[in-house]
Structures are given as structure tokens and as C-alpha cells.
Amino acid sequence: MTDIEYRFLHNTEELTQFVDLQCLIWDMSDRNAVPSNIIHAMIIAGGVAIGAYEREQLIGMSMSLPYFKGRVVALWSHMTGVHPAYQSHHIGFKLKQIQREWAIENGYKQIRWTFDPLQRGNANFNMAMLGATANIYHINLYGNQLGNLNAGLPTDRVEVMWQLDDPRVARLATHREPVPVTTSFPQENFILSIKDDEVISVPPETIDSFQWYFVQIPHDVNELKQSKLQFIRKWQSEIRNILQYMFKRDCALVDFIIEPDRCFYVLGVVDKEY
């Protein structure tokens, strides 16, 4: 692959390719994409836009803006994505690390964003590769008009907190292999799992106290939506209920595990301020 160049973008002219790339990555209409003039306004207001280029073709992008909520000050990462033909080449990881470095240089201690908790690739990237955590659940955050990739399901999202000075985050930033927070996965710690195409969810009032809890998600939700949409809707509903309950118990998603026959979140009690 040709060398990839990463640039900080500063004006509307540089952002003209952003709209087309958004529509391509998320299979959305122009109506739902962020216009280049709005991205430019975000930059003027203290945000940042980063582009990944092969020659002069934009193949990856990230856009962020300041976030203020209560006592929390952070950088909100609204969108990070890579052209489908260039995915799995660490471009997204590099974009996030450049974003992290920029945030630290500009006084931010954390970056936040949202993602679909049913998407295995995003879960692994955010939790295992970046070291982010999450304990806020948004129901149908973007409504039903976000894009074809989300068709058929409510746009539920979990909100990520990426603590930039966390030792695990700093270690992962050096491209070191992720080290799971635990390597023991007893079945009794699974509070949501799948058996014979049935969603097995532990009633919240019967959940025992453990150091770690596990919540299974699909290996490929997009494929299953084509053949088993009702099953995926049930799975999403159970994940929504169990995560909302566990988040109220001061638990957070802290890691993600992929095995040959299943993949699942690791939840644990956290003392970080959200």
C-alpha cells in the first residue's frame, strides 16, 4: 500500500471530500451527513478534523468538537471512519492516536464518542485496542434515519470514555498487543449469552457479585439482520436491559474478548468519574 499521509484540516475547501466519504462508509444519504461548512465551524469553535490521504484521495477521517456536560470537559469524537477498501490496515487506529495526541496537547484529559454495542469490530477496536470504557447507554440515539447499515434496528449506542492518561491507554497507544483484563471466563459470570439460537439473560435481581461479568454479542450482526432480524431485535433488547441495569450498579464495559465461537464484553466495577 502507498504511504498514507495524515493531515490536520483547516478550511472548507479541504473538507469537500468529507461528505462523500461519510456517505460511503456508513451508507447514508447526503441529508444525514455532516456538511463541510459545519465541520469547518467545529474547527473554528475549538474542534479538530483529521484526514488520512493516499495521494490526494481522502480515505479516512476523524472530526471532533469540545464537550461540556456538568463538570465534565472532554473532546467529543463525532465521527471516525475509513474507506471500506482501506479498512483493516490500522488507519483508524492511527487517526485515533493522532486525535489523542492533539487532545493532550490542547488540555483535554478524555475523549468521548458513541458506538453500536452490537458491532463486534467497533467493540473490539474501542475496548481492546484503544482501552476505552463505557457506562452510559443511549436508546435509539439517532432515530431511524441514520443510514442503511442501521436499518431494521433502533440506533442504540453506548457512550465511550477514553481516559487519555490511563496507563492501559498509554500502553496500547504504542501498538502493543492488547492484554485482556482477565483470562478466566467462567460460564456463571455470563449474564447474557446465546444457546441454540436463544438469548439467555440472567434476571437482574438474581445476578451475583463477581469481579467480572460477561455479555455476549453477535459475531456478525449485519449478516444476521438479513436472515434473523427478530432474533437480533430480541438480542438488542436484552443487551439494552442488562447494560442499563449493570451501569446503574457502577459497572462499565472495560474489555472485549473474541473467541472462535463467541465474542463478549467484560464488565467490571469502576471508580472513574463519568
When pLDDT is cut at 50, 70 and 90, the band that residue 272 belongs to is low
Residue 253 near residue 265, CB atoms below 8 Å: yes
Position 186 scores a pLDDT of 96
Position 108 scores a pLDDT of 95
Domain boundaries, the chain: 187-269
Report which DSSP code applies to 156. Answer: -
Report the share of the chain in percent with pLDDT over 70. 95
Residue 28 vs residues 31, 129, 186, 220, 225: alpha-carbon distances, Å: 8, 27, 41, 20, 18
Grid coordinates standing for 18?
468529507
**pTM, to two decimals:** 0.92
Position 205 scores a pLDDT of 85
Q: What is the tens place of the pLDDT at every residue in 202-214?
A: 998 899 899 999 9
Grid coordinates standing for 233?
431485535
> Does position 148 have pLDDT exceeding 70, yes or no?
no
Q: What is the tens place of the pLDDT at every residue in 154-198?
A: 999 999 999 999 999 999 999 878 889 999 999 999 999 998 888
Question: Angle, to 10 degrees, between the axis of helix 36-44 and the axis of helix 16-26?
Answer: 110
